[in-house]
Amino acid sequence: MIQISFEISNEIHHLLLFCAHKLFNKKLAISITNTGKNFLNHISLDCVIFGFHEGELKVLSLFYESLKLHSLPGGFIGVNESLEEAAQVVLKERTGLDAIFLKQFQVFSDFERSKQNPLVEKITKSNTTINSDFFDQRFITVGFYALVEYTKVNPTPDFISDSCKWVSLNEKIDFILDHSKIINKALQSLREQLNSQPIGYNLLPDKFTMSELRVLYETILGKELDRRNFQRKIMSYNILNKLNERRKGGAHKSPFLFEFNLENYEKALNDGLQGGW
Amino acid sequence: MIQISFEISNEIHHLLLFCAHKLFNKKLAISITNTGKNFLNHISLDCVIFGFHEGELKVLSLFYESLKLHSLPGGFIGVNESLEEAAQVVLKERTGLDAIFLKQFQVFSDFERSKQNPLVEKITKSNTTINSDFFDQRFITVGFYALVEYTKVNPTPDFISDSCKWVSLNEKIDFILDHSKIINKALQSLREQLNSQPIGYNLLPDKFTMSELRVLYETILGKELDRRNFQRKIMSYNILNKLNERRKGGAHKSPFLFEFNLENYEKALNDGLQGGW
DNA sequence: ACTTTAAAGTGTCAATACGACACAATGATA
DNA sequence: TATCATTGTGTCGTATTGACACTTTAAAGT
């Protein structure tokens, strides 16, 4: 009997058994100790993490100095995880936050999409326990968008990226692969779901001014809204509590602060805010 | 030199090479002729194919006599296909139709979801060229909904199902795995996208009456709409052409027929029909 | 042949929502 | 203390909505 030891994923284990069966007619016994984390082949996920700061929508991005390229934070699916669990892990690692608002919005599966991933070489060089076979595969990626409170985030790079930082959607940024396309689709989904997902609640701090909420809406929708009509409409939903408190310190008249009335907000989102049929 | 021949997928080929490398230090040359269609492991897709007939929304379902269970038409992703291409293949096979309206709406990835798939035994028994290893895997499935014109569909079972037929959403049907959940989510997406996707156009025949269109909306939304107000609103979008033609044969006053004005319809959908901000 | 019936075509009206805009109050800054 | 941009709070005319009424029509019933 020969004994050989090396790290191997569940999939390879499974297939080894299969191959052994086919090749050697079951006469080979293979015993493998499984160490390390195993991921499903072919499947990845990418997160478009939105934050709102100084009147701009921003996205958390990893940067690779040597490549001069950005990428979205992403990850793989553990063999015992759901996509959502795997995405929460990514978010926790990049932002330090738990229980982030997360929503999958599209799968990107073009055959061409993961050809020539410039990161593969970096990954395999930086960590010898990872075999390049995993990364050389074709990947189908599930796009998630996440909404976080900008100031609570502690941007943290992963082991192959040089930095992790917020980038504005107005900047021209070079992303790897189809990540620019993924961001555009995420923004489009955000827009479409503005009336059915708790978007305001998750992007703003607990207390905020009416102007801050309005600018958020303007940014997501990409158009200006009349200050007075906006306030009238949003107040008519009964989803905000007006506080007896003002934002001090800024120039000019100090505005009142508001908070979401969570109970009413969730009720309203279930029906969809306003309109249509 | 020993030569062995058997069918094998690209993945297994890849991994065989990897295993050979690890186990035998590259001293084993493996030459494999690849035959048959190869699929990506772990990933499947399921289609909720909606049709509209006699005032009811229906879903195309496969039935397994021996199990007394239904399932959604589904399939796997060829190693050179995108998800959308693979879904079109499934739809073509089950309905006979090309260029069907298709939209992915969610990925279902719960770890527990594909445990004990009652079809695995059936599949492997019915076709000896398929190895059960592929089906024994954990599967993540991408949910698509499709919209088709009921009368154009020629429901066709696949090689393991006994029949393929329309089932009403009002019936209580037992589906395998999480397929009931997938259908509910599909319906919910349909509802949410009623104003941004060409749903009326794809579910109705070219010419239809105002009542037929209204009942479709009522069915999708799950509530009654005022006949007169509905007509006023839908006509205000300028997306319908009123034809100089009536539906004869029914009792009572014969209604006018309408058709979609495709140019205006698509323009209107881009902005979203009506409303909100 | 006449009546019945239920669906279809068309319209009214009050209530509400919406878009556009006016004006006074405020509070740091000059 | 004057300035000025921002905030709070409106108003007004118009467009949209919801609720409902009346007439017309084609097949089915007698």
Task: Name the 3-class secondary structure at A195.
Answer: coil
Is residue A3 very low, low, confident or very high in pLDDT (cuts 50, 70, 90)? very low
Q: Which of B191, B108, B122, B196 is nearest to B159 (CA)?
A: B122
Whether the CB-CB separation of A213 and A234 falls below 8 Å is answered with yes
Q: Which of B198, B241, B196 is nearest to B50 (CA)?
A: B198
Residue B152 sits in a domain whose CATH number is 3.90.79.10
The overall average pLDDT reported for chain B is 85
Task: State which of A148, A167, A192 marks the end of a domain.
Answer: A192
Structure tokens at B218: 């009522």
Task: State which of B155, B177, B192 marks the end of a domain.
Answer: B192
Task: Name the 3-class secondary structure at A84.
Answer: helix
Is B277 a domain residue?
Answer: no
Q: Which residue has the higher pLDDT, A119 or A257?
A: A257
pLDDT at B258: 97
Same domain, A89 and A140: yes
Q: Which of B42, B41, B30 is nearest to B6 (CA)?
A: B30
Least trusted range by pLDDT, from A64-73, B126-135, B187-196: B126-135
Same domain, B17 and B132: no
Q: What is the domain range of residue A234?
A: 205-271
Same domain, B254 and B208: yes
Number of domains in chain A: 3
Same domain, B9 and B53: no
The spacing between the Cα labelled CA in A215 and the C1' in D6, in angstroms, equals 14
First to last CA, chain B: 73
CA–CA min distance B255, chain A (Å): 23
How many other CB atoms are there within 10 angstroms of residue B69's CB atom?
19
Tell me phi and psi for residue B236, to 5 degrees.
-70, -20
CA–chain centroid gap for A8, Å, is 28
Q: Which of B52, B38, B48, B24 is nearest to B201 (CA)?
A: B52
Is residue B234 very low, low, confident or very high in pLDDT (cuts 50, 70, 90)? very high
The set of residues, in sequence order, having a beta carbon less than 8 Å from that of B92 and lying 6+ positions away, is B98, B100
Is residue B115 very low, low, confident or very high in pLDDT (cuts 50, 70, 90)? confident
User: Which of residues 228 through 267 in chain A touch B, CB cutoff 8 A?
Assistant: none
Least trusted range by pLDDT, from A263-272, B50-59, B225-234: A263-272
Least trusted range by pLDDT, from A7-11, A118-122, B63-67, B177-181: A7-11
Q: Calculate Rg over the CA atoms of chain B.
A: 23
Do B275 and A277 make contact, defined as CB atoms within 8 angstroms?
A: no
pLDDT at A29: 41
pLDDT tens-digit map of A139-151: 999 999 999 999 9
pLDDT at A126: 67
Give chain A's length. 277
pLDDT tens-digit map of B147-179: 999 999 999 999 889 999 999 998 999 999 899
Answer yes or no: is pLDDT of B269 > 50.
yes
The overall average pLDDT reported for chain A is 85
Strands B140-147 and A163-168: unpaired
The spacing between the Cα labelled CA in B243 and the C1' in D14, in angstroms, equals 32
pLDDT at B198: 85
Same domain, B139 and B155: yes
User: Which of residues 143 through 172 in chain A touch B, CB cutoff 8 A?
Assistant: none
Whether the CB-CB separation of B44 and B52 falls below 8 Å is answered with no
pLDDT at A115: 76
Single-letter amino acid, residue A234 = I
Contacts of B131 in chain A (CB under 8 A): 18
The spacing between the Cα labelled CA in B214 and the C1' in C8, in angstroms, equals 13
Handedness of CA A223, A227, A233, A236 (dihedral sign): positive
Residue B262 sits in a domain whose CATH number is 1.10.10.10
Same domain, B59 and B186: yes
Is residue A127 very low, low, confident or very high in pLDDT (cuts 50, 70, 90)? low
pLDDT at B233: 95
Is residue B127 very low, low, confident or very high in pLDDT (cuts 50, 70, 90)? low
Same domain, A52 and A163: yes
pLDDT at B105: 97
Answer yes or no: is pLDDT of A6 > 90.
no
Same domain, A179 and A54: yes
* Residue range B214-224: mean pLDDT, rounded: 95
pLDDT tens-digit map of B83-106: 999 999 999 999 999 989 999 999
Do B140 and A14 make contact, defined as CB atoms within 8 angstroms?
A: no
Instruction: For strand C, list residues 49-68 of chain A whose Cβ lies within 7 Å of it.
Output: none
Same domain, B119 and B205: no
Name the CA dihedral angle for A65, A70, A72, A75, rounded to a multiple of 10 degrees. -40
Cα atoms in the 13 Å half-sphere on the side-chain side of A69: 15
Same domain, A85 and A102: yes
User: Which of residues 59 through 118 in chain B touch A, CB cutoff 8 A?
Assistant: 77, 79-84, 104, 106-107, 109-111
pLDDT at B257: 97
Same domain, A9 and A119: no
Answer yes or no: is pLDDT of B26 > 60.
no
How many other CB atoms are there within 10 angstroms of residue A170's CB atom?
10
Q: Which residue has the higher pLDDT, A131 or B108?
A: B108
pLDDT at A7: 41
Structure tokens at B24: 């035998």
Q: Which of B174, B220, B194 is nearest to B67 (CA)?
A: B174
CA distance linking residue B75 with residue A260, whole number of Å? 44
pLDDT tens-digit map of A230-272: 999 999 999 999 999 999 888 899 999 999 999 999 998 887 7
